Structure 1
Amino acid sequence: MDPAEFGYSTLEMKHAPYGPITPEALKDSNKGKIAVVTGAAQGIGAAIAEALAKSGASVAILDLSVEKLAKTKEACEKQGVKVRAHACDVTNGGRLKEVFDEVEKELGNIDVLVNNAGILDQRPFIMADFNTFWRQIEVNFKAPLLTIHTLLPRFRDRGAGCIINIASRSATVDVPMTLGYVTSKAALARATHTLQREMVLEKLDPAVHLYALHPGGVLTGMGGSGASQDVLDKYGDVRDEKFFMELFKDGPELCGQTCAWLATGQGKELRGLYLDCRQDVERLLGVGREKLLKEKKNVLTVNFLEGYANEP
C-alpha cells in the first residue's frame, strides 16, 4: 500500500491534546453528565473514559469482563466521579438493555454514548473464515447500532443526547487484508451522517448530536498485533515497511480529550460529520457548518466524472 495515494496534509496535524481540548480547558465542563463508553478496558477506550471523568462526567465502562476494566475504573475514580463497570458483549441487544437500565438506575439518565468497541482480523478475504470475518461487522457496526437503537428513544424523551462513534480513516480508503474492518467503519460513518438527518426529521437536531470520529494513529493492541503466521508466510509483514510505523504517532489521550470536548456540545456545528481528531476543531468550526455541508466536506462521498450526477 502506498500512503501517498491518499494524499498528505499541508496543514499542521495535532498529535496530543491542545488548546480547547486540554484537561484544563475542559475541567468540569461535563459535570453532572452520565457517559457510557464501550470497549473501555484499555487503549483508546480507557483514554476516552478517563478524559470524560476528568471533565466531570460520571462514567459507565463496558467490556467483556469486569476484571479487564479494573485499571480503567481506578483511573476514572481518581477524578472524583462515580464509576460503574459492566461486563457486556455489545453485540447482545438484550444484555445491552439490561446494562443501560442498570446504569440509569445507579448513576442517572445517560447523556453521552461513545461506541468504541472494535475488532480487526488482518487477513485477505479469500483466506478468511467467513464467521470470523462477519464477527468484525457484528462488533464494529451492528453493536453501535444496537446501543444507539436502545438509547435513542430515551434521548428523544429527554430531548437531548450525544453519540460519538469511533470510526477510522480506514473507512475512507482501500486497505487490503482488512475488508471486515474498513467495511464496518465505512458503514458506521454513513450511519452517523444519516442518523443526524433523521434527527432533523424528528425535530431533535441539534439537541441530539452524533459524530463519527477517527481516533488518530494510535498503536493499540488491535492495530499492532499484525496478521496470523499463514498470512505472513504468504504476504510478508506490513509492519516491516517503513511507512507503517510512521502512521502511528498519536497517543490515545488525543481521541479521549476530543470525545470529552464533543460531549460538552461545543462542537455541535460539526454534528453528523466524519471528524479526524488530529484536525484542529477550532479551524473546522471557523469554516462553518454551512460551507462544510455545501462543499460535502467531512462526509463519505463519491466523486463522479464531471458532468455526471443525478437526473435533474
Structure 2
Amino acid sequence: MDPNEFGTSTIPLQHVPYGPITVEALKGKNAGKISVVTGAAQGIGAAIAESLAKSGAAVAIVDLSIDKQKATQQACASHGTKVKAYACDVSDQEAVVKTLDGIEQDLGPIDILVNNAGILVQRPLIMSDFDSFWKQIEVNFKGPLLTIHTLLPRMRDRGHGCIINIASRSATVDVPMTLGYVTSKAALTRATHTLQREMALEGLDSAIHLYALHPGGVLTGMGASGAPKDVQEKYGDPKDEEFFKSLFKDPPVLCGQTCAWLATGEGQDLRGLYIDCRQDVTRLLEKGREVLLQEKRNVLTVNFLDGYENEP
C-alpha cells in the first residue's frame, strides 16, 4: 500500500485534543449520562471510556474478559464516576442482550453507545481460512448492529441517544490483505448513514444522533501486528515496519475526547456522517450541515464520469 495514493491533507491535522474537545472544555458536560464502550480493555477503547468518565458520564466497559479491563476500570473510577466492567462477545446476540440488560439494571438507561470492539487479520482472501475471515465481519459489523438493534428501540422510546461507531480510514480505501476489515468498516459506515435517515422517519433525527468516527492513526497492537510470515514469504514486505509506524501519529486520547464531545450533542450537525477525528470539528461545523449534505461530504459515495449520475 502506498499512502501517497490517497492524498495528503493541505490543512494541518490535529494530533492531540484541541479547543472544544479538551478535558477542560468537556468537564461535566456528560454528567448524569450512562455510557457503554465495547472493546474497552486497552488502546482506543480504554481511552474512550476514560474520556467519557472525565466528562462526567458513568461508564460500562465491555470486552471478552473482565480481568483484562481492570486498568481501564481503575482509570475511569479515578475521575469520580461510576464504572462497571462486563464480559461479552459482541458477535453473540444472546450475550449482547443479556449484557445490555444487565448494564441498564446496574447503572440505568443507556444514553451513549460506543461500538469500538474490532479485530483485524492481515491475510489475502485466497490464503485465508473462511471462518477466520468471516469472524472479522461478525465482530466488526454484526457486533455493532447487535448492540444498536438492542438499544435503538429503547432510545427511541426515551426520545434521545448517541451512538458512535468506530470506523476506519480503511472504510474508504482499498487495502490488500485486509478484506475482512475494510469490508466490515465500510459496511458499518454505510449503516451509520442509513440509520440516521431512519431516525428522521421516526421524527427523531436530531434527538438520536449517530456517527462513524475514524480514530486517526493510532499505533495499536491490532494495527502494528503486520502480516503473518507465510504471507510475507509469498508476497514480500514492500515497506519495513518502521515506515508504517511513522504513519501512526495519534494518541488514543484524541479519539477518546472526540467521542466525549460527540456524546454531549454539540456536534449534532455532523450526525450520520463519517468523521476523521484529526480534522477540526469547528471547521466542519462552520461548513454547515446543509452544505455538507448537499455536496455529499463525509459520506461514502461513487464518482462517475461527468454527465453520468447515480440514478435510482
For Structure 1 versus Structure 2, the TM-score category normalised by the shorter chain is over 0.9
Residues 131-180 of structure 1: CA deviation (Å, up to 9, x unaligned): 00000000000000000000001001100000000000000000000000
- Decide whether the 8 Å contact of 1:122 with 1:227 is kept in 2: yes
Residue number in structure 1 paired with 2:266: 266
Residue number in structure 2 paired with 1:66: 66
Matched to 2:272, the amino acid is G
- Tell me how far apart the structure 2 counterparts of residues 310 and 172 of structure 1 sit (CA, whole Å): 18
Residue number in structure 1 paired with 2:210: 210
Within 5 Å, give how 1:1-312 maps onto structure 2: 1-237=1-237, 240=240, 243-311=243-311
- Tell me how far apart the structure 2 counterparts of residues 39 and 238 of structure 1 sit (CA, whole Å): 31
SS of 2:162's partner is strand
- Decide whether the 8 Å contact of 1:238 with 1:244 is kept in 2: no
- Tell me how far apart the structure 2 counterparts of residues 142 and 50 of structure 1 sit (CA, whole Å): 25
What TM-score, normalized by structure 1, do the two folds share? 0.98
Distance 1:242 1:106, change over 3 A: closer
1:229 CA displacement: 1.3
Distance 1:4 1:267, change over 3 A: same
Matched to 1:106, the amino acid is D
1:80 CA displacement: 0.4
1:97 CA displacement: 1.0
- Decide whether the 8 Å contact of 2:224 with 2:245 is kept in 1: no
1:275 CA displacement: 0.1
- Tell me how far apart the structure 2 counterparts of residues 212 and 200 of structure 1 sit (CA, whole Å): 17
- Tell me how far apart the structure 1 counterparts of residues 120 and 202 of structure 2 sit (CA, whole Å): 35
1:216 CA displacement: 0.2
- Tell me how far apart the structure 1 counterparts of residues 15 and 238 of structure 2 sit (CA, whole Å): 23
- Tell me how far apart the structure 2 counterparts of residues 4 and 222 of structure 1 sit (CA, whole Å): 22
1:3 CA displacement: 1.3
Q: Which moved more, 1:208-217 or 1:243-252?
A: 243-252
Distance 1:234 1:112, change over 3 A: same
Can you give the 5+ residue segments of structure 2 that lack an aligned partner in the other structure? Answer: none
1:238 CA displacement: 5.3
- RMSD of the TM alignment (CA)? 1.1
List structure 1 segments (4+ residues) > 2 angstroms apart after TM superposition: 235-239
SS of 2:61's partner is strand
- Decide whether the 8 Å contact of 2:45 with 2:116 is kept in 1: yes
SS of 1:162's partner is strand
Distance 1:64 1:238, change over 3 A: farther
Distance 1:225 1:196, change over 3 A: same
SS of 1:151's partner is helix
1:4 CA displacement: 1.4
Can you give the 5+ residue segments of structure 1 that lack an aligned partner in the other structure? Answer: none
What TM-score, normalized by structure 2, do the two folds share? 0.98
- Tell me how far apart the structure 1 counterparts of residues 199 and 35 of structure 2 sit (CA, whole Å): 20
- Tell me how far apart the structure 2 counterparts of residues 222 and 238 of structure 1 sit (CA, whole Å): 19
- Tell me how far apart the structure 2 counterparts of residues 311 and 105 of structure 1 sit (CA, whole Å): 48
- Tell me how far apart the structure 2 counterparts of residues 148 and 97 of structure 1 sit (CA, whole Å): 10
Residues 29-82 of structure 1: CA deviation (Å, up to 9, x unaligned): 000000000000000000000000000000000000100110000000000000
Distance 1:310 1:18, change over 3 A: closer
- Tell me how far apart the structure 2 counterparts of residues 218 and 172 of structure 1 sit (CA, whole Å): 17
1:123 CA displacement: 0.5
- Decide whether the 8 Å contact of 2:122 with 2:177 is kept in 1: yes
- Tell me how far apart the structure 2 counterparts of residues 310 and 39 of structure 1 sit (CA, whole Å): 37
Aligned length: 312
- Decide whether the 8 Å contact of 2:21 with 2:257 is kept in 1: yes
- Tell me how far apart the structure 1 counterparts of residues 311 and 64 of structure 2 sit (CA, whole Å): 49
- Tell me how far apart the structure 1 counterparts of residues 297 and 156 of structure 2 sit (CA, whole Å): 28
